[in-house]
Structure 1
Amino acid sequence: MIGYVEGRVLARRERWAIVLTPGGVGYELELPDPVAAALPPQGGQVCLFVHTVVREDALELFGFATLDDRETFRTLIGITKLGPRTALAILSRFTTEDLLRIVATGDADALVRVPGIGKKSAQRIFIELTYKLEGKGPVSAGPHPAIGGGVLADVIAGLTNLGYPDADASRVAGAVLEAEPDLDVAQALRQALKRLASEKS
């Protein structure tokens, strides 16, 4: 797997560049908008952290200025129904710090600013992102506000958006909050997912 590329810019366009390494190999990388905009002119030196996607008919490379941004990209593509192009669009609009702030403040609607993400998708992405980013940066600073309505309704909505049947979502969310009524949305969702996972095993 290719994890890092260093060389000079051979060609560049709006969201991609070809980087020619000292060994004479040219790597074509797709880039978030801020990274593409910050590239040096043709012939300039560049260093990028890389995520490699291997498909049956293609090898796709995505380049990032920092290791943190590459890890955030990997976190995003781990979200249900969120592919690398959407993840790239999110990182074209928000930095890693922006996403941590969005999760910490419960601002799910901010994700609607990304082209191709509607309100329902934004809520689903937000809930999974909250779960995946727990313990990183400002996310761990305090309770996460509920999205729209009570905690129970939000946890049920989160579980159904992740593909769980309504009956299972209602049953497990209710059981979790009955046992621990002071949990916020992120905490309750995490406990509910653990219960559902244990039921499958």
Structure 2
Amino acid sequence: MTFSNTKLGALWLWIRGRDAVVEQGAVVVRSSGGSLVLPVAFGVATVIEMAVLHILVPWMWLSVILAVASVWSLVVLFGYLALHRVHPHFVTDTRFVVRQSGTVVASIDRESMASAACVRRFDTTTPELEGSRLTLPNLDGTNVDVVLRQPIHVELPALIPRYRRSGFVDRISLYVDEPADLVGNLSKVS
């Protein structure tokens, strides 16, 4: 595991406005739209909680411990978000690499793609591997469908090991910030 694959390393890269390493000449495909809503809400709630606890807790030592724990929880939360942001999907001349939370979920040879299209789906808002479809949405669902000529093996990461999934899929639905650009890049002859 490299430093950029840790929450703190990813947070450091995000603060500096950099991405983790992608291949030379690759086109970066971002999928960060709408991903700040919940973390910012938790951040605001945590700051309010810290202020209230500072007023209500009579012992300074306990107040300091709770404040440090609250700040650390925000660092971990935004570090987890940063893992997703600094490890974007990318397209090269020969393949399309799909990532989730700093992990490569699928590396697809462009020759094995049957089609890519802009298709809005609102049926799921959490990553899932169901049947022969891999879904990597945001809170608004997905906006790109990629159909493959033959199934490929994918591994869907999760914080809790029992929720990690792997299997073979021939369809991938994902959310990206610029769906038309991705479809155009994938449609170009390699």
What is the TM-score with the length of structure 2 in the denominator?
0.29
Instruction: Give the number of the structure with larger relative contact order, counting CA–CA contacts within 8 Å between residues 6 or more apart.
Output: 2
Determine which structure has the larger strand proportion and give its number.
2
What is the TM-score with the length of structure 1 in the denominator?
0.28
